[in-house]
Amino acid sequence: MNRIEDDDSLATLIKKMSSLDGFVKLAFWVSLLVVIALNLMNVAQPLLEEHAFRQTQTALTSYYLAQNGFSFRYETPVVGEGWSIPFEFPIYQYLVALISSLLGVSLTITGRVVSLFFVVGCCIPVAHTLRRLGIDQRAIYFSLALFITSPIYLFWSGTFMIEGPALFFTCCFGYYALKVMQRSFFTTDLVLLGLFLTLALLQKVTTPLPLLGACILYGVLFRVRVRDLAAGSMKILGVVASFAVPLVLAYVWVKFSDVVKAQNPIGEHLTSASLSVWNYGSLSQRLSKELWLDVIFNRNVKTTTACGLGVVFIALALAFVEARRVRLVILGGVFFFVLPFMVFSNLHFVHNYYQSANAVFLSVAVGVAVVAVSNYLLPRSPVAYSFLLLVFLASNGWFFYKGYYPQKSRVFTGEERTLAVASLVQSETPKDRPVIWYGFDWSSEVAFYSERRSLTVPNWGEMDVRVVEDTKSFLSQNPSAIVLCPTRGRDEAIMEAIARKYGAIQPREVAGCRVYFI
């Protein structure tokens, strides 16, 4: 009897999985497992794959938070004293430091796993948002499968970056903002909206800002009623506060961090005012072929829409699908995908990881469009649905393999320049004295792996020789070592400055670099 019941249960399960809805759900869950397994595959590898500059900067902050405890003036000791050059509020960094310390797990592994957790967690607010917008389950699972298998998320979700938590907080904010826009909210929704918006803005202001701006504009133009404002209702005041308080807190943090950075002769070049033009880019850049073709299409659309097939489905859906809510979701996805490129053009142009903030919207637009068009043209063809899903998933996998997999699977031997030089310095210098580094721009790679407070001299600013001659302007004590890796034609001048300041020191050579122990 039990055997018969077991067989019936198995048959029922197979029948469910063989249905279209069951297949799409199964495809999503399998994709989720693949993403997790792929990012755990090499979880302990050094943070020296793509954009090691940014990964190690985040990790360096976590390292010193673990050493010193939490501080608003948290240390990222990479460009001399004062050791603090705060950019984002260190939510992710402190969380990683806490978990690493409590569990006794290495900082690198903890940072990668926590980042992966946040990216995977984005599926929850995205699914709830689409459900609230009236999108059916099939399209939701289709969209989520495309999202988590997008090459950009397959790779960056497992790196030591703040992109994952920033996106998660932004997606949660978007869900509660939608409830407010639909006038279907309670006080707890406003509290959660304010909380997630605050977390998103403090973690990485560039991630939620385009969505926030659009929400405020839409609310002011279409949802706020004059009679509500005149009446001064508690609901309206609550809505205003849930948006205003996070903005005020974010503004205060930016101003505070600028004051702290300005106390460092290199950090003063890294304030929000100093970087403003660089962050936003120019009008000519926004209209350039390089941005629209090389960055938006080739780097993003082509690799996440099966060479543009998803764009065809978006066009078909807008042309033929009658459901207004579906068309609005697709248009909204496209809009919020493109908008960050227009706001922070140069950041997206220079950094390929910045698209972690908006690629999810493109995946949603494509997923909803494919299902909507299939419902319209192929209402009784589950085979066609399944084939289309497999085509998109296979395309995502191929572009990941072609573009990111060599970095994801890279094996480090310890002989790489960063690891070799950092290892020598760590073993030969005291922990309480700083180190000066040349040839790494102002990257945190060697500061993190040597575990030494550092003055990593940037390539800009013409301060290479000045750092040696006028060390006291950057450090309160002499360095324990000066590391000279190949620079942009300034090696001879730097060596002469070292000889004038410290005499004829015989350097140790490692990985093509000269190490002067003082």
Q: What is the pLDDT of residue 227?
A: 52
Quote the tokens at residue 27. Answer: 């495809």
Quote the tokens at residue 61. Answer: 């902050």
Of 32, 117, 112, nearest in space to 393 by CA: 32
pLDDT at 2 over 60: no
Strand ranges in 323-365 using DSSP code E only, listed in sequence order: none
Q: What is the pLDDT of residue 276?
A: 86
Q: What is the pLDDT of residue 1?
A: 45
Identify residue 281 by its one-letter amino acid code.
G
Task: Give the SS3 label for residue 313.
Answer: helix
| Euclidean distance between the first and the last CA atom of the chain, given in angstroms as a whole number | 83
Average pLDDT for residues 127-137, to the nearest whole number? 96
Task: Give the SS3 label for residue 482.
Answer: strand
Average pLDDT for residues 419-447, to the nearest whole number? 96
- pLDDT by residue (tens digit) across 177-196? 999 999 888 999 999 999 99
With bands split at pLDDT 50, 70 and 90, how would you rate the model's confidence at 248? Answer: very high
Per-domain residue ranges for the chain? Answer: 417-517
Quote the tokens at residue 194. Answer: 């304010």
Task: Give the SS3 label for residue 372.
Answer: helix
| 246, 113, 456, 450 alpha-carbon torsion, rounded to 10° | 140
- pLDDT by residue (tens digit) across 160-180? 999 999 999 999 999 999 999
- pLDDT by residue (tens digit) across 340-349? 999 999 999 9
Task: Give the SS3 label for residue 161.
Answer: coil
pLDDT at 305 over 80: yes
Q: What is the pLDDT of residue 238?
A: 87
Quote the tokens at residue 53. Answer: 């500059």
pLDDT at 359 over 70: yes
51 and 152 Cβ atoms separated by less than 8 Å: no
Instruction: Give the bridge partners for 455, in sequence order.
Output: 79, 436
Q: Is the pTM higher than 0.85?
A: yes
Distances (CA, A) of 496 to 227, 247, 493, 504, 509: 75, 50, 5, 10, 17
With bands split at pLDDT 50, 70 and 90, how would you rate the model's confidence at 400? Answer: very high
391 and 336 Cβ atoms separated by less than 8 Å: no
CA distance 395 to 216: 36
Distances (CA, A) of 411 to 49, 112, 197, 284, 456: 10, 16, 38, 41, 26
